[in-house]
Structure 1
Amino acid sequence: MYTALPPRAQQAVANFLPSESLVEERYKHFASVQPRNPDSDGDTEILNDVTFTHRFVRVPADHETVTFHYVETGTGEPIVFLHGIPDSWFQWYHQMAALAKTHRCIAVDLKGYGQSEKQAGDYTHEGAADQLFTMLAKIGVASTGFNLVSHDRGTLQADYIAAKYPDNVLRYGRGEQHLYNFNPALAPQGDIFMDSPWTGLMEDPKRFVLWVYTWIAKRKIPDGDMTRVIQEYSYPKVVRAVPRYFNSSTFRKEWLDRRNRLLKAWKCPVLILQGHESRTQPREFYEKSREYIPNAMDVQVKYMPGGHFWTLECPEETTEAVNQLLAM
């Protein structure tokens, strides 16, 4: 049975999708943004005074191999960061720069996103998660154990990794995704994104990024960060690859798989991270998270200031939350 909407969520659903006039205003503001040149293996860039290195690795999977792009910085116990839609590794650069002195920080472009693989293949979240874990094993992270931190659609793949490879995940910071409770009124994007190759919603990646951020962000994000978010979603074929996820599963199937199979398989400490003003996942749904994850060593919940995109809306508070996870 679907979870009834709390009163606050009912009000949010009444005017759920973003104002087209506001999206158009934002679109004009970022009209000058141009696509970014792709990176090569070993390329570096400096962000927040910290050097980041771009890496590409090929692993056995669909079409014999799948190429993953990831970015890393720092040394020490690994933290693997997984992004959501319409994002990329860049979503986590503030936290990576802040934690680089003590940890090896690795942020991956999920399959279909950014500069990772975009060919047809297995776009079920479980299948893509298995391929991602193969990549982590190849770069020497899986054998040592790693902390896993995720956001939005990246959390779907992280859920499978935490459940299927519990001996390899040290701690799990699970961000901005339905957990045990779900109501389809909060997830119209499932059907919308599934149809996007035909409706043209993603045809203009700049407009799509601004549409999503206008919809569910609460705090202003600096123009420089928004420019890079747009550029990362504008690499060739991203807008054709990403909808494959939504044609390979549904929010209902994901929800049932969590309840019936995944939640009980998580063993490591889990920190649930949700935006305090998240429109698509009301904070009331997470108050009993300890009950929903019965076999984890510890379960804590932290509500982040702002809305859905808290890694960029409140970067310092997000870094503090990751440190809270690392102390569990």
Structure 2
Amino acid sequence: MSTDAIPYEYTAPPARIRAVMDEAVGRLSRVDELVAELPQTPPRAPDEEGAEERLGEVTVTHRFVDAPGDGERVRWHFVEAGPSDAPVVVLLHGVPDSWWQWHYVLEALGTDHRCLAIDLKGYGQSEKGTGDFRQEGVAVQLEALLDQLGIGRFSLVTHDRGTPVGDHLVARAGHRVVRYGRGQQHLWHLHPDLHPQQAMFTSPDAPATLADARRLVVTAYSLLAERAVKTSDLVRTVQEFSYDGISTAVPRYFNSSSFRQEWIERRTRLIPRWKCPVLLLQGADDPLQPREFYTDPHIAAMLPPGSGVHLFDSGHFWPFEVPEETVSVLRDFLR
């Protein structure tokens, strides 16, 4: 499909989606009950540079690195696993998540890949000061971080709102990116009914909503997950989203762009600049991202050779809902 003359018209969701969305919204009636059932989530003390954490048979290291950005520097927190000379895999999370979203992947791939699970700027223990929160601006700063770490070629795996940043990073880095596992985000098709979070995150009430990390996490996972998520993963997700400054920093992304703007940028200047194989990673039962939008045969023609799509037997949060399938698919793709 040519991008020379694009009609900027939304795609109507499949007929089945209305019932699916109504059923998902119906789950919200249980949020108060689920919040009360969730074990206590005491704040975590911030990690220190070089602190180690055991994930199964793999020991991961917490890193804090200052890299160029926002006039002077941006402080990044990421968790690293694997041999320093192994193929590099960079992992970017979404909302309301952190590096912890990838802990099953770190545990499985950290034996033979150098894995970097990064807290995006504004999240977790990364920088939360004012600055450039455009998706493209954050991609530029991430590239500066990789340069500072001496990383040349790398593969990228993303989820949810980490993906718009990843789209720009892959377009910028060209052949430096070996493979792109593009996870759980709108691509070619879009409709306003399918991104209600834009209104929530741009509301004046957004900082107060995000400050209640416990309720935010339970609400998001109740609405969008189709399979059970371990309580321990929900607890750690709440803790990682509870650090000071997150509630005011994260809305800056949504106030710096819109879903429509991202959509047009992908169609006009990002997708044509992707050089590496792209694997679209989508939960088959995400009510806000219909699987039909990603199995459209026109998509294969617009992506680089070797690209494809994998539909997880899950909802939106497949790294937690189906961790074994996630690891298996990523291992095959990265191989």
CA distance, structure 2, for counterparts of residue 180 and residue 152 of structure 1: 15
1:209 to 195, 217, 221: 217
**Residues in 1 aligned to 2:122 and 2:301: alpha-carbon distance in whole angstroms:** 30
Aligned to 1:306: 314
Q: Which among 225, 228, 240 is matched to residue 232 of structure 1?
A: 240
Over 3 Å counting, the alpha-carbon distance change for 1:128 and 1:220 in structure 2 is same
Native 8 Å contact 2:208 2:247 kept in 1: no
SS of 2:107's equivalent? helix
- 1:28-67: CA deviation from partner (whole Å, max 9, x where unpaired): 1125111111001000010123101000001111151110
Write the distance in 1 (CA, Å) between the matches of 2:223 and 2:76.
Answer: 29
Structure 1 unpaired stretches of 5+:
none
Letter in 1 for 2:140: D
Matches within 5 A, 1:96-135: 96-135=106-145
For the pair 1:91 / 2:101, whether they are aligned, the reply is: yes
Contact 2:300/2:307, CA 8 A, preserved across alignment = no
1:15 CA displacement:
5.0
Deviations 1:170-227 (A, max 9, x none): 0000000001000110101111111164573213111111111111011111111111
User: How far, CA to CA, are the matches of 2:187 and 2:289 in structure 1?
Assistant: 9
Separation in 2, partners of 1:289, 1:32? 47
Mean Cα deviation higher: 60-69 or 301-310? 60-69
- Computed over aligned residues only, the root mean square deviation of the Cα atoms, in angstroms, reads 1.5
Q: Distance in 2 between matches of 1:315 and 1:283?
A: 19
Contact between 2:200 and 2:206, CA under 8 Å: does it hold in 1? no
Secondary structure at the counterpart of residue 210 of structure 2: coil
Partner SS for 1:115: coil
Which residues of 2 match residues 67-216 of structure 1 at below 5 A? 67-75=75-83, 76-141=86-151, 143=152, 145-195=153-203, 197=205, 200-216=208-224
Deviation at 1:18, TM superposition (A): 5.7
8 Å contact from structure 1 (residues 73, 96) kept in 2: yes
The percent of aligned pairs where both chains have the same amino acid is: 44
1:266–1:293 Cα contact (<8 Å) kept: no
Question: After the TM superposition, which of the residue ranges 179-188 and 287-296 deviates more from structure 2?
Answer: 287-296
For each residue in 1:218-245, what CA deviation from the matched residue of structure 2 results, as whole angstroms up to 9, or x when unmatched? 1111111111111000011111100111
Answer whether contact 1:263 1:293 (CA < 8 A) is retained: no
What is the SS of the residue equivalent to 1:312? helix
Aligned CA distance change for structure 1 residues 241 and 184 (closer, same or farther; 3 Å)? same
Give the letter aligned to residue 173 of structure 1: G
Partner-residue secondary structure (3-state), 1:212: helix
Question: Which amino acid in the other structure matches residue 221 of structure 2?
Answer: Y
Corresponding letter in the other structure for 2:74? V
TM-aligned CA deviation for residue 17 of structure 1: 3.6
Paired residue secondary structure (1:167): helix
Given the superposition, is the C-alpha separation of residues 19 and 201 from structure 1 closer, same or farther in structure 2, using an over 3 Å criterion?
A: farther
Could you tell me which amino acid in structure 2 is paired with residue 164 of structure 1?
Answer: R
Contact 1:109/1:116, CA 8 A, preserved across alignment? yes
CA distance in 1, matches of 2:301, 2:263: 14
* Aligned partners of 1:112 and 1:242 also within 8 Å: yes
Provide TM-score, normalisation by structure 2: 0.93
SS across alignment from 1:201: helix
- Classify 1:69/1:324 alpha carbon distance in 2 versus 1 (closer, same or farther; 3 Å): same
**Whole-Å separation in 2 of the counterparts to 1:70 and 1:155:** 17
Cα 1:150–1:293 shift into 2, 3 Å = farther
Q: What is the CA distance between 1:307 and its match in structure 2? A: 0.3
Q: What is the deviation of 1:81? A: 0.4
Pairing partner for 1:218 from 226, 237, 247:
226
User: Residues 264-279 of structure 1 correspond to what in structure 2 (within 5 A)?
Assistant: 264-279=272-287
From 264, 267, 270, the equivalent of 1:256 is 264
How many residues matched?
325
1:56 counterpart (53, 64, 74): 64
Within the candidate set 19, 22, 34, 1:11 is matched to 19
Distance 2:222 2:101 in 1: 16
Give the TM-score taking structure 1 as reference length.
Answer: 0.95
Deviates more, 1:83-92 or 1:28-37: 28-37
* Separation (CA, whole Å) in 1 of partners of 2:224 and 2:303: 32
